[in-house]
């Protein structure tokens, strides 16, 4: 995923009302940007000025033309906080044949229904996919005062919706089809991924049950830079 123009380095002052953030540009001017993240952004927003990367939509009709893409977090690492990016990143990598476990085969579809749910991606014909994929943006790393152990966790807040996705992935396996949970780890310090049991114990329980019932879990680290993001390499998952 290449950015044109390249991402701009700014200073984040504050995030508020969930979808808004105030930043200061290199020339000292302050502006408000869109924050496309409904999560808590725990250990990403540090409560003090920090370096950030923003994108420019080039659309002057947008109320907030720029979008918060990444933040410099604890231990000098970067975390990608725009939750609209992971689906596109995973789709791009799968279509390119970059993810060995997920062959693009006869096609890659987005936003595919299954029962009363909708999965981020599916492989096969849209009318009859053989593989359903749920993508999660994973950014919960150690705080500035914590040991930098490289373990990046999901979720960063209790997620009833995420719990439902796991139940539905188990239903997919029971129906005879393939179900994949894909942790898109947008954190430059990542060496492994894990469930954040300390945040949502129920999610951790369901994840382990899902694995036992045949749901596959993949985790890939994203390379983050001002000119582009891309899936870089697979990561181990610590259950």
Rounded Cα–Cα distance for residues 190 and 15 (Å):
24
Q: What is the pLDDT of residue 106?
A: 87
Number of C-alpha atoms within 13 angstroms, CB side, residue 204? Answer: 16
Nearest to 53 by CA among 68, 34, 32, 33: 68
Q: Tens-of-pLDDT digits for all 239 residues of the chain?
A: 999 999 999 999 999 998 999 999 999 999 999 999 989 999 999 999 999 999 999 999 999 999 999 999 999 999 999 999 999 999 999 999 999 999 999 899 999 999 889 999 999 999 999 999 999 999 999 999 999 999 999 999 999 999 999 999 999 999 999 999 999 999 999 999 999 999 999 999 999 999 999 999 999 999 999 999 999 999 999 99
Rounded Cα–Cα distance for residues 219 and 123 (Å):
18
Please state the pTM of the whole predicted model.
0.97
């Amino acid at each position: 995923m290449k950015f044109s123009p390249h991402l701009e380095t700014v200073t984040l002052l504050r995030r508020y009302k969930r979808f808004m953030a105030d930043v200061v540009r290199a020339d000292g001017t302050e502006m408000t940007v869109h924050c496309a993240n409904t999560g808590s952004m725990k250990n990403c927003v540090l409560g003090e000025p920090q370096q950030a990367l923003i994108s420019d939509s080039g659309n002057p009709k947008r109320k907030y033309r720029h979008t918060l893409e990444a933040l410099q977090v604890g231990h000098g690492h970067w975390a990608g906080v725009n939750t609209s990016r992971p689906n596109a990143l995973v789709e791009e990598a799968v279509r390119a044949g970059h993810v060995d476990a997920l062959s693009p085969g006869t096609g890659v579809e987005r936003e595919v229904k299954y029962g009363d749910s909708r999965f981020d991606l599916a492989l096969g014909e849209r009318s009859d996919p053989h593989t359903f994929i749920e993508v999660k943006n994973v950014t919960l790393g150690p705080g500035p005062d914590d040991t930098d152990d490289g373990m990046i966790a999901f979720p960063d807040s209790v997620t009833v919706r995420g719990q439902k996705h796991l139940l539905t992935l188990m239903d997919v396996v029971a129906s005879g089809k393939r179900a994949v949970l894909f942790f898109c780890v947008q954190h430059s310090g990542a060496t492994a991924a894990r469930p954040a049991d300390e945040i949502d114990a129920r999610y951790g329980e369901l994840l382990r049950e899902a694995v036992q019932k045949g749901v596959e879990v993949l985790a890939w680290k994203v390379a983050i830079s001002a000119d582009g993001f891309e899936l870089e390499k697979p990561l181990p998952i610590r259950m």
